[in-house]
Amino acid sequence: MKDQQQPESKGLPGMREQAGMFIYLFFGIHMLMFGLSGFFMAYATDGPDLSFLYMHGGIAIIVYMVFYLVIFGRDQVQWMLVNAALGILGIHAQIGWILARFGKHIDDYPWQVHVIPFLYYILYTFLLRQFLIDVTRSRNNPQRKRLVDAAYVVFSLLVYGLMLLRLQPGG
């Protein structure tokens, strides 16, 4: 019996293929600029009011989500959200590690301050995974894609685990 897999939902037909690597370059640089400004505003000693931080970052994040749905399709965006659930550990570890470089601790800030930097992290890691899938030419090769996805998860867990260990007292 023939394998009856559901076709992957795609964004605007051919948009990702047509734009090629430009999508990654454009969104990578654009999100890096907005993400860095959101990061520095969130964790600055005399940062802006939380409502400004949410407006500045929140509007951009909503726009990115719309573009992601159009370009990458619903299935890939759903994977991003699954990845985000898994990534809470990684986000906490990496932002904690970055803040430690500035002599700060992640627990010095209320959870509301972390929302915008965390959401940018989710969007950025999604973009990196999409790039990895395209660079390895795995998008239309289910067997290779499973391998790339598994390697991505294992590598991420190793990196995040090591970062968390280094954040521990005496680590």
- Which helix (H) or strand (E) is 20 found in, with range? none
Q: What is the pTM of this model?
A: 0.54
Q: What is the widest separation between alpha-carbon atoms in the chain?
A: 64
User: Residue 132 above 50 pLDDT?
Assistant: yes
End-to-end CA distance of the chain: 54
> Could you tell me which residue, 124 or 171, shows the higher pLDDT?
124
Distance CA 50, CA 10 (A): 36
> Could you tell me which residue, 117 or 141, shows the higher pLDDT?
141
> Could you tell me which residue, 52 or 7, shows the higher pLDDT?
52
The residue with tokens 């990702």 is 16
